[in-house]
């Protein structure tokens, strides 16, 4: 079973920030939060990951709460091409046998013109 | 990130036949994974394929149905054997690289 909870769908206006929440209340101390997205009929695309500090890259920002039980993925200026299913996943960074990604149902983000 | 290609990109097959899907990576990777995504569903891991060892299958998936080869560090194949319409899915190859997993474009399989 997925260890995360996400809303099934969200809408966002083009040009506005999209804030996608994720709950992971059972996350362990050495598990990272990963975000992927899947645009229709394509393979999942890696977005960002983090442990406890906030992270930012060219695609998005990841805000993790201090207790690490939840996080928010922020797309600062959403475009129509950001319409996709966004998956929040927790897993170990490396080592051990737990490399596999367990996908939940994700959040369908629809960016509207 | 690793660049991954899959062949074929899509296929339509007859019931009872088999299809082999190829996955090619542009760099050497130790761990490769095969996922299935049934229509309207999320991704499900089929097996983990490490070079030089037998693939490890997840619950509900067996080697006779989904044999996997991993001849070197840049290539793997997944065969979907004795297909039925229930095997109609997108099959995705993934690799572990630089602390994350990266996915190929997928193979869309339709079984008639």
* pLDDT score recorded for residue A95: 57
Mean pLDDT to the nearest integer, A36-60: 93
Q: How far apart are CA B46 and CA A94, in angstroms?
A: 20
Q: What is the pLDDT of residue A59?
A: 94
pLDDT of residue A97: 55
- The pLDDT of A68-72, averaged and rounded, is 96
**Which of B37, B90, B100 should be substituted to probe chain A, the one whose Cβ sees the most A Cβ atoms within 10 Å?**
B100
The alpha carbon dihedral of A84, A85, A91, A95 has a sign of negative
Least CB-CB distance to A46: which of B44, B102, B104? Answer: B102
Residue A101: list chain B partners with CB under 8 A.
Answer: 43, 45, 94, 101
Complete DSSP assignment for A15-83 = TS-EEEEEE-TT--TTEEEEEEEE-TTS--EEEEEESSS-EE-SS-EEEE-TTSSEEEEEETT--GGG-
Residue B6 contacts residue B22 (beta carbons within 8 Å): yes
What are the φ/ψ torsions at residue B86 (nearest 5 degrees)? -65, -15
Residue A71, pLDDT > 80, answer yes
List residues of chain B with CB under 8 Å from any CB of chain A: 1, 4, 31, 33, 42-45, 48, 58, 90, 92, 94, 96, 99-106, 108
**Predicted confidence (pLDDT) per residue in B68-103, tens digit:** 999 999 999 999 999 999 999 999 999 988 778 899
Q: Mind listing the pLDDT tens digit for each residue in B24-50?
A: 999 999 889 999 999 989 999 999 998
Local confidence band at A98 (pLDDT 50, 70, 90 cut-offs): low
- The three-state DSSP-derived secondary structure of A29-48 is CCEEEEEEEECCCCCCEEEE
Is residue A1 very low, low, confident or very high in pLDDT (cuts 50, 70, 90)? low
Contact list, A46 vs chain B (CB under 8 Å): 1, 100-103
pLDDT of residue A63: 97
């Amino acid at each position: 079973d997925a260890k995360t909870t996400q809303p099934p769908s969200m809408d966002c206006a083009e040009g506005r920030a999209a804030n996608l929440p994720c709950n992971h209340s059972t996350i362990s101390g050495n598990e990272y939060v990963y975000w992927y997205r899947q645009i229709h009929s394509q393979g999942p695309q890696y977005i960002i990951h983090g442990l406890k500090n906030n992270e930012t890259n060219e695609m998005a920002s990841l805000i993790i709460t201090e207790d690490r039980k939840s996080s928010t993925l922020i797309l600062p200026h959403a475009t129509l091409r950001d319409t996709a299913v966004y998956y929040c996943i927790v897993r170990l960074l490396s080592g051990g046998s737990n490399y596999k990604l367990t996908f939940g149902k994700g959040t369908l983000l629809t960016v509207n013109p | 990130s690793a660049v991954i290609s899959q062949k074929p990109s899509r296929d339509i097959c007859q019931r009872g036949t088999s299809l082999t899907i190829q996955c090619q990576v542009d760099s050497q990777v130790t761990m490769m994974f095969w996922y299935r995504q049934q229509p309207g569903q999320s991704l499900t891991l089929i097996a983990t394929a490490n070079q030089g060892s037998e693939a490890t299958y997840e619950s509900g998936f067996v080697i006779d149905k989904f044999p996997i080869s991993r001849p070197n560090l840049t290539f793997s194949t997944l065969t979907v054997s004795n297909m039925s319409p229930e095997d109609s899915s997108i099959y995705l190859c993934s690799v572990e690289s630089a602390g994350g997993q990266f996915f190929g474009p997928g193979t869309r399989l339709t079984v008639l």
